[in-house]
Chains A and B, each alone.
Chain A
Amino acid sequence: MIRPLIVLLLTLLSALPASANPALEAVIARNLDQIEKPSRRTVEPLVAEIAATGPEGLALLSAWANRSLGVSDNGRLLIVEGDSATDAVTGQPVPGADLTMLRPNSGVRGVIDSALVAGEISSPDPARRASALASIARDGTAAHLAALRGAPPEADPTLAQQRERATNLLAIRFDTDPAARVAAINGLAGDVGLDFRAALNPLLATTRIAAPAEPQANIVRELTVGDSDFPKEAAIALLTTQGVLQPRLTPADQRNALAANIVNGTVSGIPVADLSDPAARDRAYEALEAAGTVPPAATDAEADAALAANRFFETYAEPNPDVTDAARAAQVRAQVRLAAMTGIDLGLDALSLASIYFLAAIGLAITFGVMRVINMAHGEFIMMGAYTGYVVQTLIPNRTLSLVAALPLAFVVTFGAGVILYRLVIRHLARRPLETLLATFGVSIALQQLAKNIFGTQARPLTAPAWLEGAITINDVISISSIRVAIFVLALLFLGLFLFIMKRTRLGLEVRAVTQNPGMAASMGINPDRIAMMTFGLGSGIAGIAGVAIGLFAQVTSELGQQYIVQSFMTVVVGGVGNIWGTLAGAGLIGILSKVIESFNPSNTLAAQTFMILFIIIFIQFRPRGIIPQRGRAAEA
């Protein structure tokens, strides 16, 4: 009821002719010289006064802050927009005015801005209230705190919540009453937002001081010299910075002092040639000290005396212990929840990595299971799939469409490549895994170089459609990019498809038969050669699809496959062969493990990979046949 009325009123007001806002007119007339030359310290009441005069006042303030306010010869304030100027009070256009632009400094603009924001909070328009809150959250001041507290109750529940949060955050920083700050901290307890943690940090900032007796301060704890986090050197350095102790002599200073005092090839009677011995240097320096040529340096004895005479404390910069206690408790809670959330985030990351490894390794596992051969060119099939995706994208501009076309096409291309490789090479090396490994390696280097020759060495883009870009964000901590979710879904899809083929189709039955006993299968009329060819093609085809998926988030280069091949091998080895669940378990284990190890030291992914490989080598000790081994007497042979 009320809101449309206000809007109507405002429209009417702005339509009124000159001198529509006499209050503003009066304020300006009284303070024109201060508006022209404002000072950060004194401008605040003036700004508040102008803001109180209504919409024209706010418009004037906003122009002032934006440096688009000018003052004319006759003392009128004009708002300049491009080439035209309007009178700030009347809103009438003033053509051809002779203006001096006002250029308030940043301090003044800050004051104006906060006043504006404070005004905005009470704005009838929810969008403007929201943007005002966002602006306060970004860069709040003590004035905002007062404005927030003074503002009329918020009707919109979301905004009300946001406002309460902003008020609490500002109270933690700016409120003068400790009890209010504690209340604010407790009001936000359990929150893991970055801004809350940032607000807590300055409260918990500590400094170390040395003093003969316990100082009047908010003490965290007393430090013991020699503890692991407070070695003697740190104590001495602290004493030196506080001026209690003379600076100790650095070796470089000592050498320079000695060099400055060489007389006839000796320093205080000690030949220069002997000064390669640190003890001789000390003796020479002491002699110089005794002669008064060099300033005395703190000796070990002095240092020890100073250490003994002083106690060392860690103190909070914040004087009120209630506040620091509350802040500490809130921080601990935040950290615990944060750790839990980081764990969830890590789990999501690990899941997505595991899906990638699963997709990359599943083809390898199938061929290994059926034929006992490792296809070293598997990585190149992944690469081939990625390049297929790239080529399709250059032909079909619509990204969604091209992706839909690329997935089956990549499968077809790599399926064909796999079948050709099988017919030409692998079939002739049947039951000789090591030879197959090497021959397929030859294929791998040839394919890699071929890709270089065709596509060049620079990375080719394979761009995801818009609906796959971005991320699903749950809060500051937990988020996962849409592509990775898509890959996870793809991996699930393939797991399902694979299970369907293996358990529900004739091909699957024959594949399982050949895997378990090729001789027996052959005598039942199954052609093991055809089955091997089909599974090899299938494995290669899945590699192609994995290639498209990987290409969406990684760079498509001729070395793309190499980056995943070793991990794929590991997945197969760790998981155990001849069983899709083994591959799944292997991919899961390796994915989780890489992420967990990485989380210990996020900056050093190389170390993480090293440790992961070491872990796998050790793991093989205990499960030589993988997590889910092939069982039965056939596997023993």
Chain B
Amino acid sequence: MSALLEVDSISVSFDGFRAINNLSFNIGEAELRAVIGPNGAGKTTFMDIVTGKTRPDKGDVKFGTPSKSLLKMNEAQIAREGVGRKFQRPTVFEDQTVAENLTMALKAGRNPFAVLGWRPSKASVARVADLAAEVGLAAQVARKAGELSHGQKQWLEIGMLLAQEPRLLLVDEPAAGMTLAEREQTTALLVRLAETRAVVVVEHDMDFVRRLNCKVTVLHQGSVLAEGSLDHVTRNPDVIEVYLGR
């Protein structure tokens, strides 16, 4: 299995505190992976590094085939390479309609002049409608995103990620604040998405992770503590010690 994302012994410290310590990590094409770990294990920092928000002190991050280093790129370039990110808190543009939010995320030229010259086509309008339907917001297309409920905003954000057509999707606690039904829907969606692209899910909720039924990486103090199936890692005494508790 060739790796889509290769994180090679990265370290980063904030003010002397080592958030990530010599972390190595690989994701293959079309792989679903769950990352768990106690608070402060470096989960969010790891995402920040992959998406270009934080620069590591050392190490390298390679992405794609042929692989390119992501460290020399800024956030926007990384996003254009095909790395999408879903934040913990839903971040959509509340002042704009659902359609506008989705249109902005559609895969298309991103430079200012291309955007200035961009005009909606039949295909783009249809794609926006499809995406809205897929995330269950078909009836809300013309409403402002700010008027949506918390769960709907989460879905809109996922819809925007889909519109970006990323090759790697980083999802930060997708189930937070969702109802049971919404969680099941989210699980199904993530599993389906992972058929065509790599998905990394950061989650605390063990039931949710179990339902994803995928390989699990446990982070602790900025490095990998254990890796394998959920059953495998939950039996690991180290993991029980630092994370699950006795």
- Chains A and B in contact, CB within 8 Å: yes
Q: How far apart are the CA atoms of A542 and B144 in the complex, in Å?
A: 47
Within 8 A of A (CB), among B101-121: none
Complex contacts, A506 vs chain B, CB 8 Å = none
Chain B residue nearest in CB terms to A631: B15
Interface residues of chain A: helix, strand, loop or mixed (majority): loop
Question: With an 8 A cutoff between CB atoms, is A157 at the interface?
Answer: no
Nearest CB on A from B17, distance (A): 9
Q: How far apart are the CA atoms of A334 and B3 in the complex, in Å?
A: 73
Q: How far apart are the CA atoms of A633 and B15 in the complex, in Å?
A: 9
Complex contacts, B15 vs chain A, CB 8 Å = 631-632
Complex contacts, A631 vs chain B, CB 8 Å = 14-15
Complex contacts, A633 vs chain B, CB 8 Å = 14
Within 8 A of B (CB), among A621-637: 631-633
How many residues of chain B get a CB closer than 8 Å to chain A's CBs? 2
Complex contacts, A632 vs chain B, CB 8 Å = 14-15
Q: How far apart are the CA atoms of A575 and B126 in the complex, in Å?
A: 53
Q: How far apart are the CA atoms of A632 and B15 in the complex, in Å?
A: 6
Complex contacts, B14 vs chain A, CB 8 Å = 631-633
Nearest CB on B from A469, distance (A): 49
Nearest CB on B from A579, distance (A): 14
- Residue-wise interface mask of B (14-38) relative to A, using a CB-CB cutoff of 8 A (1 in contact, 0 not): 1100000000000000000000000
Chain A residue nearest in CB terms to B53: A636
Q: How far apart are the CA atoms of A632 and B14 in the complex, in Å?
A: 6
Within 8 A of B (CB), among A241-272: none
Q: How far apart are the CA atoms of A575 and B14 in the complex, in Å?
A: 21
Nearest CB on B from A621, distance (A): 16
- Residue-wise interface mask of A (418-435) relative to B, using a CB-CB cutoff of 8 A (1 in contact, 0 not): 000000000000000000
Q: How far apart are the CA atoms of A205 and B14 in the complex, in Å?
A: 65
Within 8 A of B (CB), among A57-108: none
Chain A residue nearest in CB terms to B45: A633
Q: How far apart are the CA atoms of A633 and B40 in the complex, in Å?
A: 12
Nearest CB on A from B167, distance (A): 27
Chain B residue nearest in CB terms to A632: B15
Q: How far apart are the CA atoms of A385 and B14 in the complex, in Å?
A: 42
Q: How far apart are the CA atoms of A631 and B16 in the complex, in Å?
A: 11
Q: How far apart are the CA atoms of A632 and B19 in the complex, in Å?
A: 12
Q: How far apart are the CA atoms of A631 and B14 in the complex, in Å?
A: 8
Q: How far apart are the CA atoms of A55 and B15 in the complex, in Å?
A: 85
Q: How far apart are the CA atoms of A633 and B14 in the complex, in Å?
A: 8
- Residue-wise interface mask of A (589-632) relative to B, using a CB-CB cutoff of 8 A (1 in contact, 0 not): 00000000000000000000000000000000000000000011
Nearest CB on A from B9, distance (A): 23
Q: How far apart are the CA atoms of A633 and B39 in the complex, in Å?
A: 15
Q: How far apart are the CA atoms of A633 and B54 in the complex, in Å?
A: 11
Q: How far apart are the CA atoms of A599 and B14 in the complex, in Å?
A: 41
Q: How far apart are the CA atoms of A76 and B15 in the complex, in Å?
A: 98
Q: How far apart are the CA atoms of A542 and B167 in the complex, in Å?
A: 57
Nearest CB on A from B53, distance (A): 8
Q: How far apart are the CA atoms of A251 and B15 in the complex, in Å?
A: 73
Chain A residue nearest in CB terms to B54: A636
Nearest CB on B from A389, distance (A): 43
Chain B residue nearest in CB terms to A633: B14
Q: How far apart are the CA atoms of A631 and B15 in the complex, in Å?
A: 7
Q: How far apart are the CA atoms of A217 and B171 in the complex, in Å?
A: 90
Q: How far apart are the CA atoms of A632 and B13 in the complex, in Å?
A: 10
Q: How far apart are the CA atoms of A632 and B54 in the complex, in Å?
A: 12
Chain A residue nearest in CB terms to B16: A631
Nearest CB on A from B95, distance (A): 15
- Residue-wise interface mask of B (52-70) relative to A, using a CB-CB cutoff of 8 A (1 in contact, 0 not): 0000000000000000000
Within 8 A of B (CB), among A507-530: none
Nearest CB on B from A505, distance (A): 26
Nearest CB on B from A78, distance (A): 93
- Residue-wise interface mask of A (342-374) relative to B, using a CB-CB cutoff of 8 A (1 in contact, 0 not): 000000000000000000000000000000000
Nearest CB on B from A165, distance (A): 61
Chain A residue nearest in CB terms to B19: A633
Q: How far apart are the CA atoms of A489 and B15 in the complex, in Å?
A: 34
Chain A residue nearest in CB terms to B44: A633
Q: How far apart are the CA atoms of A556 and B111 in the complex, in Å?
A: 53
Nearest CB on A from B89, distance (A): 12
Q: How far apart are the CA atoms of A273 and B15 in the complex, in Å?
A: 81
Nearest CB on A from B80, distance (A): 23
Nearest CB on A from B23, distance (A): 18
Q: How far apart are the CA atoms of A631 and B13 in the complex, in Å?
A: 12
Nearest CB on B from A517, distance (A): 15
Nearest CB on B from A283, distance (A): 59
Nearest CB on A from B29, distance (A): 32
- Residue-wise interface mask of B (131-152) relative to A, using a CB-CB cutoff of 8 A (1 in contact, 0 not): 0000000000000000000000
- Residue-wise interface mask of A (201-227) relative to B, using a CB-CB cutoff of 8 A (1 in contact, 0 not): 000000000000000000000000000
Q: How far apart are the CA atoms of A632 and B17 in the complex, in Å?
A: 10
Within 8 A of A (CB), among B2-17: 14-15
Q: How far apart are the CA atoms of A140 and B14 in the complex, in Å?
A: 72
Q: How far apart are the CA atoms of A313 and B109 in the complex, in Å?
A: 72
- Residue-wise interface mask of A (18-51) relative to B, using a CB-CB cutoff of 8 A (1 in contact, 0 not): 0000000000000000000000000000000000
- Residue-wise interface mask of B (150-176) relative to A, using a CB-CB cutoff of 8 A (1 in contact, 0 not): 000000000000000000000000000
Nearest CB on B from A340, distance (A): 41
Q: How far apart are the CA atoms of A41 and B4 in the complex, in Å?
A: 107
Nearest CB on B from A624, distance (A): 14
Q: How far apart are the CA atoms of A70 and B15 in the complex, in Å?
A: 92
Nearest CB on A from B131, distance (A): 30
- Residue-wise interface mask of A (280-292) relative to B, using a CB-CB cutoff of 8 A (1 in contact, 0 not): 0000000000000
Nearest CB on B from A515, distance (A): 16
Q: How far apart are the CA atoms of A123 and B14 in the complex, in Å?
A: 79
Nearest CB on A from B67, distance (A): 28
Nearest CB on A from B47, distance (A): 14
Nearest CB on B from A520, distance (A): 15
| 5 sample A-B contacts, Cβ–Cβ < 8 Å, listed by A number | A631-B14, A631-B15, A632-B14, A632-B15, A633-B14
Seen from chain B, the residues whose Cβ lies within 8 Å of a Cβ on chain A are: 14-15
Seen from chain A, the residues whose Cβ lies within 8 Å of a Cβ on chain B are: 631-633
The 5 closest A-B pairs by CB, nearest first: A631-B15, A632-B15, A633-B14, A632-B14, A631-B14
